[in-house]
Structure 1
Amino acid sequence: MAEEQKIQALDTPAKPLLSGRLRKWLRFARQKPLGATGVAILVLTAIIGVIGPSMTPHEPLKADAYAILLSPNNIYWFGTDVMGRDILTRVILGARVSLYVGIVSMLAAATLGSIIGVTSGYFGGKYDIIIQRFVDALSAFPSLLLAIALMAAFGQSLNNIILALAIIFTPRFTRVIRAVTLSLKEVPYIEAARTIGCSNIRIMALHVFPNTFASVMVVSTASVGTMIIIEASLSFLGVGTPSHIISWGAMLSGDTQAYFSGAPWIGIFPGMALTIVVFGINVFGDALRDILDPKLRGR
């Protein structure tokens, strides 16, 4: 009897917690319907990226001379390409590559940019000046042009694309986090921490970094979509993913352009997938910015 009462007591608080979280999500969906749409798109894309490869209807790399450029039908729902490969299967596998590149590149750029931005803004002086000159130099180049140059230097591979994107987007995080750090380092609780003898590393780790999280989230969601587009552009230009790796950009390159007028489905479906995912990321990022920015919460 006593054990049953304990179990009931433990179970009781879980219901309000769950309903509270559900209410928050419903409120978010009502206030930011586009943001909720973006979340749904991202969740669906993530599910496809994780479990899709085990459920693909055809072999992604298997060419079929008897199924070249077939229009969408009940066997090949998205049609086939110039080598007779199933486009639906390749679109599903391309989702994994695009999400992997976008998320890992974002995490790398956010981590490096946050560390550089916080230390640059906190310490200031010559260190800050040198860092900002490097940031200005990298920011002066168009992102795609710099990505092409870096890929020419590094060579074609998925890891090199991630490295190139991390280098390109680190300055964006550095500038934003530095500005936040400059406004934080003179606030009373930071001064109090210095007064009681806290080290600079402790102050940055416990008081500065946590307060830059909202800014990091906003820049991250704003950057992921652009990263995915740049990865697709590099693959489209033939300097991105290797030929054996399926990506949406690679599906739009090469022979696709020559056959697009007669077989538009070979470009429409990967292009639509890329557009929908980037749209979902952007509208979710806008909604997140409105929520995290106090000046925009009332909008």
Structure 2
Amino acid sequence: MTTDKTAPHGAVLPEAPPEGERPLVELRGAGKSYGTVRALHGVDLAVHAGQVTCVLGDNGAGKSTLIKIISGLHQHTEGEFLVDGAPVRFTGPREALDRGIAAVYQDLATVPLMPVWRNFFLGSELTKGPWPVRRLDIARMKRTADEELRALGIVLDDLEQPVGTLSGGQRQCVAIARAVHFGARVLILDEPTAALGVKQSGVVLKYIAAARDRGLGVVLITHNPHHAYLVGDHFSVLRLGTSELSAARSEVSLEELTHHMAGGAELAALKHELAQVRGVDVEELPDAADVADAAPAPGEGNG
């Protein structure tokens, strides 16, 4: 006989699922306040192995705060944060890394003038020889970097080339492969396609799918619903620090996702208010669905 449990924030939760179905990372009613400012409130999110969970939202929606909680930069001030089903409260990013949670930010934490293999092992260099005259094991680092990159389908002709000479998409992929090699089970990607064109965005999305196929739980932070829908398995839309939508891929269409991202509910309310103003013909204003249909396709406007 199974029994339900009640979470601290009042939600009734079913009995814990079998370990194979348990989320790698889960937020239950999580929130974060900075003094009197409530940046995040009542957010539920589950990241499963072998799935891409997309978190979408406009500027100021709370995406950055969510990343910081999961990656250990900040602690949540309400709700629960669970890793492998156990409540946690990280005191820093190192604790999150030790639990297999890695974040790849937009700056990628790379040194442009250093070779690809040096950036791959930056801060975790392999050495050989007796102490105190140990030296860098360059051959093993090059071989390992090449193997890990190829495992994700990334083939570079010269690992000696400065990482700054790679395209934006290739640099993103090097950062993803590096995180996977160093034990990431949950990979958080912060707007990986924000500054990329159509072709390079496609390259990055392909390697995100490859990471998912290797069994990682991927959290894709983006403001582009088209990119999210290409690889996403579950979608969570944030607005002003709260969840506006949480749905599996089978439960939401691209049009509905774009509608939420375009602020369809707010546009409808605005149109209703404008109808009360003399001299404004609201019949000439576009509907929220029209605004969603007019949203730019991936890569448009990157110029």
Per the normalisation by structure 2, the TM-score is: 0.26
Per the normalisation by structure 1, the TM-score is: 0.26
> In proportion to residue count, which structure has more helix?
1
Q: Which has the larger radius of gyration?
A: 1
> In proportion to residue count, which structure has more strand?
2
